[in-house]
Structures are given as C-alpha cells and as structure tokens.
Amino acid sequence: MIGRYIMSRETVSTEKKTLNSHLKGILCILAAALGFSFMTFFVRISGEVPTMQKAFFRNAFAALVTVVLLLRSKEGFHVRKGSWGDIAWRCIFGTSGLICNFYAIDRLGIADANMLNKLSPFFAILLSIPILKEVPSVVDVTSTLVAFIGALFIIRPGGDMSVIPALIGLYGGFGAGTAYVFVRRLGGKGERTPIIVLCFSVFSCLVTAPFLILDFYPMTLRQWLCLIMAGVSASVGQFGITTAYKFAPAKEISVFDYTQVIFAAVLGMLFLQETPEPLSIVGYIIIIGTALVRWYITLQKDRAEKE
C-alpha cells in the first residue's frame, strides 16, 4: 500500500511538472508570435524605406544580440565540424525568404503577409523528403495539400500584377520552411542555436549591405526607431520560440504559433485601417484549421503509441 501511494505521488508529481513545462512552452510561443507580429508591424510603419535596408537593420540588431550571447558562453564562436554546408543553405534560403517576406509586408495586408509566411511548416514537410529522407504520413501530405488550397484564397490569382506580391510572399514561406529543415539537420548534428542565428544574421547583412551602400535612403528619427523596434521584436520572437521548444516538443505546441496571424490582423485593424478580405479570412480558417487538425491527430497518435 505504501509503495503504491509513493508511486502514485511520483506519477502526479511528474504529470504536474510536464503540465507546467507545457504551459511555459505555450506562453513562450505566444510571446514569440506577438514579437514576430510586432516585427511585421514596425517594418510596415517604417514607411518608404527600401526592403533591403529594412532587412539589413533587422538582421544587424539580431547579430549584435547574438554576438553578446556568444561572448558570454564557454564555447564562444566555435562551429562544429560538418556544419558549414547546412549553415550555408540555411543562410541562403532564410535570407531570400526574409527579403521576400519584407517585400510582401510592404505591399499586402500584414495579416495576409504573416499567413503566407506561416505556410513554412507545410513546405518543411515537403522539403524533409529529399533533405532529411523523411517519409511523410498520409495526414502530413493531405494537410499540406489542403493548406495550399487555403493559400489560393489569400493569393487570389487573377492574371494581373497584383498577384505578384502574394506570390513573392508565398516564396517567403517556402524559404523559411526550407531554412527550418536545415536548422533541424544542424540540431541533429549538435550545432548551437546562437551560432546558427549569428551566421544567418551576418550573411543577411552581407547580402543586403551593397544595396544599402549604393542606394541608402535617409531615414527620419521615427523610421530609425521603427527599425530598431522591428529588430527588438524579432529578437523576442526568435528567442521566445527557441525557449518554447526547450520546454515542450514542437509537435505539441507549434500550433499556437499561428496566433501570430491573429495578432497581426488586430494590429492591422487598430493602427493601419486594414480589414482582411472575406476570401483571405476563408484562407486563414482553412490553413489554421488544417494545422489544428494535424496537431490533434499527431497528439492522439503519440498518446496511443505510449499506451
């Protein structure tokens, strides 16, 4: 009886710790979503500053924060052997995706731009096949196809030039999803998050710096503050999402990252007088609904395997 009582107490204690970790993870990912939505908001209200200039200052701030963290760490700036190839691909796809995302933010409603960028997990499923040699489940394939149907409601192809910013925003999601696949492979090799973030930030600054030098747009104090706040918000998002996945597995909490679209829509309505198109709202419902169903099925399957 005493042994059973002790085991019961230990089980309850373990469950409470797991629950607390999940709650912390959810709170962190909500903070990350809020941070990224404010990043898009500040990028948008910085005005007519060129896209490349906005991308440069966003990444310059992230690089500065990461350098400080690495200087305080024991390993410093050491990159693990065998990581450079994956880091290069992460930088190429991440930088091109970021630039396209910023381009879309300036020309679409910020909720639409955020939603197209949030297709990245579905692109990651597709790219995991050739890069990670992972075989997706029927649920993964089906959810990806349905999500892209939802994307069509946001893009609304009509044969005119207005669809181009949406297609560029779609590539932003593709670039981000591909970059995440290489980040996962780097994680499997034991590479540290600050190193990956620093390499990406420095590479992005090097790519955008020539545009900054050749065609610098003089900025007002307000625009400087907007871009600084965009960098601060992006850092909150980056470290928030990294911390979240330390508390709980991605498959259990990643769906909460879609709140970024809701935060962005609220910011757009309150401060930019943006009201999402009815068809865009249909697209949001399809994509977020698909993510919710996939998340639920994954959790149920995981629990069944443990029993």
pLDDT in tens, 154-179: 887 765 556 889 899 999 999 988 98
Q: Residue 14: inside a domain, yes or no?
A: no
pLDDT at 202 over 90: yes
For residue 22, the model assigns a pLDDT of 79
Domain that holds residue 89: 30-306
For residue 160, the model assigns a pLDDT of 58
For residue 303, the model assigns a pLDDT of 75
SS3 letters across 208-274:
HHHHHHHCCCCCCHHHHHHHHHHHHHHHHHHHHHHHHHHHCCHHHHHHHHHHHHHHHHHHHHHHCCC
Give residue-wise pLDDT tens across range 32-66.
889 989 999 999 999 889 999 999 988 898 888 88
Q: What's the domain count of the chain?
A: 1
Q: Residue 299: inside a domain, yes or no?
A: yes
For residue 117, the model assigns a pLDDT of 87
Q: Residue 20: inside a domain, yes or no?
A: no
Instruction: Compute the average pLDDT of residues 65-75.
Output: 85
pLDDT at 74 over 90: no
- Residue 2 pLDDT grade (very low, low, confident, very high; cuts 50, 70, 90): low
C-alpha–C-alpha distance, residues 192 and 282, integer Å: 39
For residue 136, the model assigns a pLDDT of 81
Q: Residue 22: inside a domain, yes or no?
A: no
For residue 85, the model assigns a pLDDT of 92
Instruction: Compute the average pLDDT of residues 17-27.
Output: 77
Do 104 and 116 meet the contact criterion of CB atoms below 8 Å apart? yes
Instruction: Compute the average pLDDT of residues 1-16.
Output: 54
Q: Residue 8: inside a domain, yes or no?
A: no
pLDDT at 264 over 70: yes
Q: Residue 213: inside a domain, yes or no?
A: yes
For residue 54, the model assigns a pLDDT of 92
Q: Residue 15: inside a domain, yes or no?
A: no
- Residue 295 pLDDT grade (very low, low, confident, very high; cuts 50, 70, 90): confident
Q: How many residues does the chain have?
A: 307
pLDDT at 200 over 60: yes
> Please, what is the average pLDDT of the chain?
84
Pick the more confident residue, 5 or 277: 277
Q: Residue 4: inside a domain, yes or no?
A: no
Give residue-wise pLDDT tens across range 76-135.
888 888 889 999 999 999 999 999 999 999 888 888 988 888 888 888 888 888 888 888
User: What is the pTM assigned to this prediction?
Assistant: 0.81
For residue 159, the model assigns a pLDDT of 56
Closest CA to 115 of 274, 297, 8: 274
In percent, the amount of the chain with pLDDT more than 70 equals: 90
For residue 168, the model assigns a pLDDT of 93
